[in-house]
Amino acid sequence: MTDVVYRAITVTPIADALGAEISGVDLASDLPEETVAEIRRAWLEHLVVFFRDQALGLDEFLGFARRIGNPVEYPFVKGVDGYPEIIAVAKLPDETVNFGGIWHSDTVYLERPPMASMLIAREVPPVGGDTMFANMYAAYEALSPGMQRLLDGLVAVNSSAMADVSKTREDRRRDSGDVDDREFVAEHPVVRTHPETGRKALYVNVAHTQRFVDMTEDESRPLLQFLFDHSIRPEFTCRFQWRVGSLALWDNRCAMHNPINDYHGHTRILHRITLEGDVPR
């Protein structure tokens, strides 16, 4: 990481691989352009940034999101009343499966996957419920030159119907009254180049990536499994412990995440906004 000087905010890394806490800023206020620019610079440098003790109502949460990008509706879960771009990510005491509880990048089965996502915690369990993040730049850069050359020429098929996550999504869809049963499928490069930083990142994940283009699932599985395991090696990750009022903003183009499902019998409720992205290249 480079030594970046910040004047409007304080940036404190939480791990060597990725992740930093930003302090000295009230996201509910009318942020100066310089402050927004520094937040965005820290986010691009650290891939995921966290804010503590933010008292944001839905209007303020949406307002901050609009300073970073363009909020869009999530295809499978209905938004909260009056705010179609904000969804509730909830697990209740009687539930055993959490929302999106597997390593993934958000909705890579769309032609234009999101640039970023942000979550703010409304209610958290007394212990547990952390979220892990993985640096997909680092995962790519740690591969051998020969493996990098092989992957640079591959395209992956990504589907919304992968079994490991569909059960949770289907449950949420029924609960929300959304009966859209379409399967979304998109082909994206296995290695994508970040449109802002110019760096290369692995862009496959166990939740959505089915196979390589022009290969069968059986043929694709060994290499994909290697990449899935490789990309979440401990040295590529960080872990964030939520508190009420904590907000996370991550770069979906170069980071994966995994909400840990270790708090059965307790409630965990967060609000999420997804920010519009581009076509991976």
pLDDT by residue (tens digit) across 112-122? 999 999 999 99
User: Does 254 fall in a domain?
Assistant: yes
pLDDT band at 174 (very low <50, low <70, confident <90, very high): very low
Number of CB atoms found within 10 A of residue 144's CB: 8
pLDDT tens, residue by residue, 73-106: 998 889 999 999 999 999 999 999 998 999 999 9
The pLDDT value given to residue 164: 47
Domain presence at residue 187: yes
Beta pairing, strands 48-51 & 20-23:
parallel
- Is the pLDDT at 30 greater than 50, yes or no? yes
Indicate whether 173 belongs to any domain: yes
Domain assignment present for 100: yes
Q: Report the domain count for the chain.
A: 1
Q: Are the C-beta atoms of 93 and 266 separated by less than 8 Å? A: yes
User: What is the C-alpha to C-alpha distance for residues 20 and 34, in angstroms, rounded to an integer?
Assistant: 19
* Contact of 90 with 97, CB cutoff 8 Å: no
DSSP 3-state assignment of 72?
A: strand
Q: Assess if residue 150 is contained within a domain.
A: yes
User: Residue 76: beta bridge partners?
Assistant: none
Q: For strand 191-193 and strand 247-251, is the pairing parallel, antiparallel, or unpaired?
A: unpaired
Which carries the bigger pLDDT value, residue 161 or residue 276? 276
Active site residue 257: yes
Q: Which of 192, 194, 253, 272 is catalytic?
A: 272
Mean of the pLDDT values across residues 42-55? 98
Residue with tokens 């692995």: 202
For residue 3, tell me if it sits in a domain: no
Q: Could you report the per-residue pLDDT of 197-222, keeping only the tens digit for each?
A: 999 999 999 999 999 999 999 999 99
Number of C-beta neighbours around residue 130 at 10 A:
15
Helix (H) or strand (E) holding 232: none
Could you give the CA distance from residue 250 to residue 248 in angstroms, rounded to a whole number?
A: 6
Joined tokens for residue 214: 């022009």
Q: DSSP label at 276?
A: -
- Give domain status of residue 281, yes or no: no
Residue numbers of the domain that contains 242: 10-275
> What confidence score (pLDDT) does residue 180 get?
52
What average pLDDT does the structure give for the chain? 93
Q: Which of 46, 188, 253, 257 is catalytic?
A: 257
Of these residues, 104, 188, 208, 268, which one is catalytic? Answer: 104
Catalytic residue among 106, 188, 194, 208: 106
Q: What is the pLDDT of residue 61?
A: 98
Q: What single DSSP character describes residue 76?
A: S
pLDDT, one tens digit per residue, over 175-190 is 455 445 678 999 999 9
Whether 14 is in a domain gets the answer: yes
Q: Is 104 a catalytic residue?
A: yes
Nearest C-alpha neighbor of 44 from the set 122, 115, 127, 112: 115
What does the pLDDT read at residue 169? 43
Strands 48-51 and 247-251, sheet pairing: antiparallel
Compute the 3-state secondary structure of the chain and give helix, strand, coil in percent, each to the nearest 5: 25, 30, 45
- CATH number, domain at 108? 3.60.130.10
pLDDT (0 to 100) of residue 88: 97
d(CA 218, CA 137): 27
Number of H helices, E strands in the chain: 6, 16
Contact 237, 134 (CB under 8 A): yes
